[in-house]
Structure 1
Amino acid sequence: MKVYQISRGNSILNKFLQEIRDVEIQKDSMRFRRNIERIGEVLGYELSKKLEYGKQTVTTPLGEKTADAIQNDVVLCSILRAGLPLHNGLLNYFDDSENAFISAYRYHPNNDEEFEIIVEYFASPPIEGKTVLLIDPMLATGRSLVSVYQALKKYGTPKEIHIVSVIGSLDGIDYIKNHFPVNTSLWIADVDNDLNSKGYIVPGLGDAGDLAFGQKM
């Protein structure tokens, strides 16, 4: 698996990352959502450089122009609910893509730190031979992404998978490397070193879904 950590270079992305981590700026949920969306746009732009291109001719009012155009059949697949703002950012750039949505959440059967991943709602087009962008803002343990990938298999075998995340942990990245096929790339804004005992990224930013949409029951 190829890993592209975009924060390693100097760009406006780092301003957006700083703001989504800031506990004061996080109080503005609309700005939090917009910053996640803007991070999605940056990641989408960088990812687009690795797709396949072919010549396409368009007619202008004064003549014709041939340029390179993306040839991939792109499917954006987001994990609900936290993935929605990131999905919107990618959709701003891949605006003619197909879209899939899946719910995956942590279930603590014993009300302790042990959990399992529950996958329920899933709406997806066929993905056979397509380029799937699997979208989850927080790559903590990696178990949610692996569970979603297992569920995706019933819809076909994609040509390639691009995982798109905002912040991940080293442990989570190592975990998905062992469970995704070789034709997978990870596009991530930033990587933190640690997970706490509950499997949350440290320093991270907290619960992305709650910060974007309010606390859940």
Structure 2
Amino acid sequence: MTIHNLGENNSLMNKFIAEIRDVDIQKDAMRFRRNIERIGEVLGYEMSKSFRYESSQVHTPLGSKEMSLPTDHVVLCSVLRAGLPLHQGLLNYFDGAENAFISAYRHHRGDEDAFEVIVNYFAAPSLEGKILVLTDPMLATGKTLENVLKVLKNHGTPAQIHIVSVIGAQEGVAHVQKVFPENTHLWISAIDPELNARGYIIPGIGDAGDLAYGEKL
């Protein structure tokens, strides 16, 4: 797997990351969602540089211009619900993409730290020969993406897989690198060093779904 860690270089995206981490600023759910969306736009722009392009004539009122335009057939697949703002950021740029959605959540038995990832909803077009972009804002243990990959195998073999995440943990990145195909690309804005006992990224941001859409039962 090829890892593209955009956080290793200074850019305006640092400001967006700082704001979603800040315990005071992240109380504004609308601002939190918008920052995740903007991070998705930045990651999507960088990812687009790796796609295929062909020359095409574009006609203007005063003449024509030869331009290189993308030709890949893209499917954006997001993990509900936390992935929705990130999905929208990518969709702002890949406005012609097909869309897929999958529900995956952590199930803790009682108050135990250990958990299993349960997938109970999936809607997607055929993935055969297409560019599959998986979006999950928090790459913690990597178990969610592993389970998503298992479900996706019944919908065709994509030509290439790109994972887009906002913040990951070293452990989660290593796990995804182990279970995904070798030609997978990971586009991420920050990688944090560790997980706590309940599998949350440290220092991370907290629960992205709750911050974006409110606490759940």
**Same amino acid, percent of matched pairs:** 60
Partner of 1:146: 146
Partner of 1:183: 183
What CA distance in whole angstroms lies between the structure 2 residues aligned with 1:32 and 1:104?
Answer: 21
Q: What's the CA shift for 1:182? A: 1.1
What CA distance in whole angstroms lies between the structure 2 residues aligned with 1:76 and 1:164?
Answer: 10
Q: Deviations over 1:81-100 (max 9, x none)?
A: 00000000000000100000
Amino acid at match of 1:125: P
Amino acid at match of 1:79: V
TM-score by length of 1: 0.99
Amino acid at match of 1:117: V
Partner of 1:208: 208
What CA distance in whole angstroms lies between the structure 1 residues aligned with 2:125 and 2:182?
Answer: 23
Instruction: For residue 129 of structure 1, give the secondary structure of its aligned residue in structure 2.
Output: coil
Partner of 2:21: 21
TM-score by length of 2: 0.99
Partner of 2:12: 12
Instruction: For residue 44 of structure 2, give the secondary structure of its aligned residue in structure 1.
Output: helix
Unmatched 5+ stretches in structure 1: none
Q: What's the CA shift for 1:60? A: 1.0
Partner of 1:131: 131
Amino acid at match of 1:204: G
What CA distance in whole angstroms lies between the structure 2 residues aligned with 1:96 and 1:216?
Answer: 33
Unmatched 5+ stretches in structure 2: none
Aligned CA-pair RMSD: 0.7
What CA distance in whole angstroms lies between the structure 1 residues aligned with 2:47 and 2:75?
Answer: 14
What CA distance in whole angstroms lies between the structure 1 residues aligned with 2:143 and 2:28?
Answer: 29
Q: Deviations over 1:24-69 (max 9, x none)?
A: 0011000000000000000001101111111111211111111001
Instruction: For residue 178 of structure 1, give the secondary structure of its aligned residue in structure 2.
Output: helix
Q: What's the CA shift for 1:205? A: 0.3
Amino acid at match of 1:108: H
Partner of 1:47: 47
Partner of 2:91: 91
Amino acid at match of 1:44: G
Q: What's the CA shift for 1:109? A: 2.7
Partner of 1:116: 116
Q: What's the CA shift for 1:129? A: 0.4
Partner of 2:70: 70
Q: What's the CA shift for 1:110? A: 4.2
Partner of 2:34: 34
Partner of 1:156: 156
